[in-house]
Each structure stands twice: as C-alpha cells, then as structure tokens.
Amino acid sequence: MNRVPEAIAAYERVLSRWPDLPNSWYNLGLLQRQAGRLQPALSSYRKALALGISAPEEVHLNCSVIYMDLRQEEAAERELRTALRLNPGYIPALLNLANLCEDLGRRDEACDLYRQVLVLEPKRYEALARLANAQPPRLSHASTASAGSTASTAAAASADVGPVADASDGGPLAMIASLRRALADPAASPAETASLGFALGRLLDDQGDYDAAFAAYRQANLDSRTSAGAGFRAYDRGAQEAFVEELMRAFPGPSPGGHDLAQQTPDPARQSGPAPIFICGMFRSGSTLAERLLSSHPGVKAGGELGLIPGLVNGPLRPFPASMASISPDVLARMAAGYSEEMGRRCAGASYATDKRPDNFLYLGLIKRLFPQAKIVHTTREPLDNCLSVYFLHLDHGMSYALDLRDIAHYYRQYRRVMAHWRALYGEDILDFEYDAFVRDPKPAGKRLFEFLGLQWQDVISACPHGEPSGRPASGRSGSPSTGDPRAARGTTARGSRKRNESCGSDDAAHNSADPCDAHGCDSAA
C-alpha cells in the first residue's frame, strides 16, 4: 500500500510543532523525493543540514540524486564532492561520482574512482564489474583470433595479475581473470555474481570468444533471477497477452465518423511548460541516441527516462486501462497540466522536452488522450539484434521477460502487436526512428527526425557520437539503494537514529547504469 502522502503529512505536522528535528527533515526529504516533489525535498534536506544533522555526507548524496533527476549535473557533482570532502571514504558518493563521470565522458576519472573503491573494499564486486565495463576495447576482433579463443581466455583465468584493484592495468585478459576469481568467491552474493557475469560476458564478447560470452550472459541472467529472492514474479506470457488485448479494447479504432475517440478530448497541452516529445520503443533500440540527437537543438532539452506516465498508470489511473472507460476530460486535463508543470520544473526555459521512457509504448493511447497533438518518436532496431541486446543487459527484476530469450521473443511480439494498433490510430503522429538506418547513413535519418517534429535541422552528426551515455533509467537497470551497486549506487535511506521514525522512510533506489553498449560489447543502441 502506498502511504507516502500520509507519511509526508505526518512529518509536516510534527515539524510544524518541533521544527528543530534534523532527522525528521531528512526523512521528510526522502519521502518528498519518492512523491516526485523534488524542490521541496531539496529544501527539507537543506534544513536538515542547517540543523547539524549527523553524517551530513548522506544528505549531500541524496541532494545529488535529486539534481541528477533534474538533469543538473554540475550541481550533482558539487554535492558529491562536498560529501567526499566530509568523508573521503564514503563509498556511495565515490560510486555515484564515478557514474556521473562516465555520463560526462570522463572515463579515466571514473576508472580512478572505481579503483579507489576497490582499494577501500577489495571485495566490493559491483565496483569491479563497473570498472570492467568502463574499459574501452583494447584489441580488435580481427587481431585477436587466437587471443579470443576459449583456450586463451581460460589461460587468463589462471594468470597471476595482482590485486583486483589493479586488474585493469594488465589489459582485458587480466580483467577477465579478476572477474572469474571474483565469481569463484563463495561469499559473493547472487546480485554481485550477476553484475560480474554481465561484465565478463562483455569482455569475452570483445575478445571474440562468443561461446564463452554467451555462457557468461546465460549464467548472469540466472544469477539475476536468484538475486530477486522469493518475491520474484516470473514473466507471465498469458497475462501480457491479456494486457495488450485490454489496451486495444480501452483505446479502440477510429469511430465511424472518422475521428478517433482520443481526439474528442480537449487538448490540455496549452500549458506553460515545454511541449513534450515522447521517445519510446523496446529497450536497446536507440532511444538514448534519438534523445541525444534531438537535444542538440537549442530549443530541446533532454528530460531523460521519466516515470511520470507510469506514475499515472500505477497511481490515480489504477486499475489501468479499465479506468479509461469512465474518466472525465476534466480529470485528464488536470493530469496533463500536472505533467506539464513537472516538465516545466525539470526543463525550465525549453520550448520542447523529451520524455525518453522506452516502455511508454504501452501507454500511447493514454498519452494521446492527455496530449492529442503529441508527437511520438518510436525507436526501432533489427529484431534479433534488439532481443539479444536486451538479454545482454542487466535489467531490473520488474522486467522479468529480459531474463530468458524465449520470453524476450514473446514480449517483442506483443510489443509489435500493440504498436501496430497505435499506428492504426495515430499513424501521422508516430515516426519510426530506425537505428540501423541511422548507423548506415546518419544525416538523412537525422533530418527526417527533425522535420517530423517541425524543428530546423541542426547538422550535428559529427558532434553526436553514436554511442549511448550511461543513463539513469527509472524503469530499467538493476540496482539497490545506497549499497554501492554500480547500477544504482545513488540511494536514499531513512535515518536510523530515530527508530520510531524508520517506518516512515523506505528505501528508494534510483537506477544508474553503465553504458549498455560499453557493458556488453554490442553496438550503441539503447
């Protein structure tokens, strides 16, 4: 049961009477961030700091999380460096700063930070996995036919390459050996072996040892499933098919008069915030590339992978999509206004803002009810490449289809099915941005994207690398809060020094990820 609003109200009542409780301000900030109230959360954290809260580095870490949510990288880095000045050995801040450095293209600095973590805690295996993922390819497949053999990589496993923290200094074979030694540690948790296994698969793939790489990925997915524990919900093919059927019934085809029911909703998009551009499709199909290209335009700001639409689906619109049969245009207008206000806060000053949430493809009917004039950029990729790339990525357990190739194939077919339905309804407002076509010939594909959105073409192809930056998907990569998980190091946890208050503050993981391209030796789609 989601009782965060009640908890916020309770803390506000307490603090109205006793405003000098720093831990209560901290926990209020945590809850406000969970509720998406980012500026009030920052204010609450600042009050906790002003009142001299213990372990202030935790507060600065959490402030950095919010600034990353707001896409304010400089402010996030400032908070992380403040946390490290207060506590130079604070591993969550080291890991988050390394994540941020990767995002900003400062790979060498990121690697140095991961090494610092491993010096402090040699068995912090998540940091080792991230360090391995951050290594650039050092040998081409063509020049390593022998090195890429099973024999050579097996030999590397027994090589004496020194401490784990220095493994990257010995090249990819040394790192492979370090990963295998870590995987052999009986104390490593399933979550750690999953991360290590995905990193190992990437390096073996880079060495051309494809059979060993695939075996590593298969075991990594099994370990990821195990790490989910007893609460794991396996992918249910029948349930997914039923959900797609329900979506298509809730958002039917054009009426006999030729007007889609969605278009009967007054357009609430006359808002003060930026006009939304929705980017969606399968994970690993080029969504980050499309967003990066669009954000090169001076009028477009990258909103990143947002949870705003899923938040409506899993909140006030539950049970979705059944609720759409009775919802009023006034309620939809208020929801659209709330969405626009939040985008305005996140992307202030922009004319357009992207919402790059890949699985929003499920909710295009809702999006078009909220914003009838919205444009949809649907990213596509060669199906086999797309499905394999999903299998090679360490995704959140909530996306359980990604753990099995047959389930991925089933999910992909249902994705194609619902997209065909949306095209029948909104075809003029949906553009297929084909990743493979962009890689072959970037300029025509880029111009087509800009023209579809009514934007003046910006010839920035040379300045827009095809690789994907490491993102912070709210929906995607696996991780846990404040544990140093390199895929989700930045976390927030309720203060433990006020035991009576702990029930009000729950863990809140924000998902960081290595560059999925770098992590798995595949191409640059995401």
- Is there a domain that residue 355 lies in? yes
Do 436 and 307 share a structural domain?
yes
pLDDT at 473: 33
Stretch 260-271: mean pLDDT, rounded? 47
Stretch 257-264: mean pLDDT, rounded? 43
Q: In the listed set 198, 231, 264, which residue is the last one of a domain according to the structure? A: 231
- Is there a domain that residue 515 lies in? no
CATH number at residue 113: 1.25.40.10
pLDDT at 3: 87
pLDDT at 455: 93
- Is there a domain that residue 244 lies in? no
pLDDT at 360: 98
Do 345 and 212 share a structural domain?
no
Given a contact cutoff of 8 angstroms between Cβ atoms, the answer to whether 162 and 181 are in contact is no
pLDDT at 138: 56
- Exposure string of 297-321, with b = 16+ CB inside 10 Å and e = fewer, is bebbbbbbbbbbbbbbbeeebeebb
Q: How many domains does the chain have?
A: 3
In tens, the pLDDT along 305-340 reads 999 999 999 999 999 999 999 999 999 999 999 999
- Is there a domain that residue 135 lies in? no
Q: Residue 13 burial by CB count (10 A; 0-12/13-18/19+): exposed, middle or buried?
A: exposed
Q: In the listed set 69, 104, 121, which residue is the last one of a domain according to the structure? A: 121
Of residues 380 and 3, which shows the higher confidence score?
380
pLDDT at 464: 57
Do 219 and 302 share a structural domain?
no
Q: Residue 143 burial by CB count (10 A; 0-12/13-18/19+): exposed, middle or buried?
A: exposed
- Is there a domain that residue 393 lies in? yes
Of residues 463 and 181, which shows the higher confidence score?
181
Do 93 and 30 share a structural domain?
yes
Stretch 371-393: mean pLDDT, rounded? 96
In tens, the pLDDT along 190-231 reads 999 999 999 999 999 999 999 999 999 999 999 999 999 998
Q: How far apart are CA 112 and CA 340, in angstroms?
A: 40
Q: In the listed set 106, 121, 136, which residue is the last one of a domain according to the structure? A: 121
Of residues 163 and 431, which shows the higher confidence score?
431
Q: What are phi and psi of 477, to 5 degrees?
A: -70, 150
Nearest of 48, 124, 61, 113 to residue 87 by alpha carbon: 61
- Is there a domain that residue 375 lies in? yes
pLDDT at 462: 56
Do 433 and 320 share a structural domain?
yes
Stretch 30-42: mean pLDDT, rounded? 93
Question: Sorting pLDDT into bands at 50, 70 and 90, what band is 36?
Answer: confident
pLDDT at 454: 95
- Please state, rounded to an integer, the average pLDDT across all residues of the chain: 83
Do 382 and 453 share a structural domain?
yes
Do 86 and 36 share a structural domain?
yes
Do 322 and 454 share a structural domain?
yes
Whether pLDDT at 377 is above 60: yes
- Whole domain around residue 373: which residue ranges? 275-463
Do 383 and 316 share a structural domain?
yes
Do 116 and 213 share a structural domain?
no
Task: Identify the DSSP state of 455.
Answer: P
Do 167 and 96 share a structural domain?
no
Integer distance in angstroms from the first to the last C-alpha of the chain? 33
pLDDT at 286: 95
In tens, the pLDDT along 462-520 reads 555 554 433 333 334 443 333 332 223 334 444 433 322 322 223 333 333 333 232 23
Do 333 and 451 share a structural domain?
yes
CATH number at residue 421: 3.40.50.300
Given a contact cutoff of 8 angstroms between Cβ atoms, the answer to whether 510 and 490 are in contact is yes
- Is there a domain that residue 525 lies in? no
Neighbours of 50 (CB within 10 A): 10
Stretch 266-283: mean pLDDT, rounded? 78
pLDDT at 156: 46
Percent of the chain having pLDDT more than 90? Answer: 71
The dihedral formed by the CA atoms of 52, 58, 61 and 62, expressed in degrees to the nearest 10: -80
* Maximum Cα–Cα distance across the chain: 75
- Is there a domain that residue 253 lies in? no
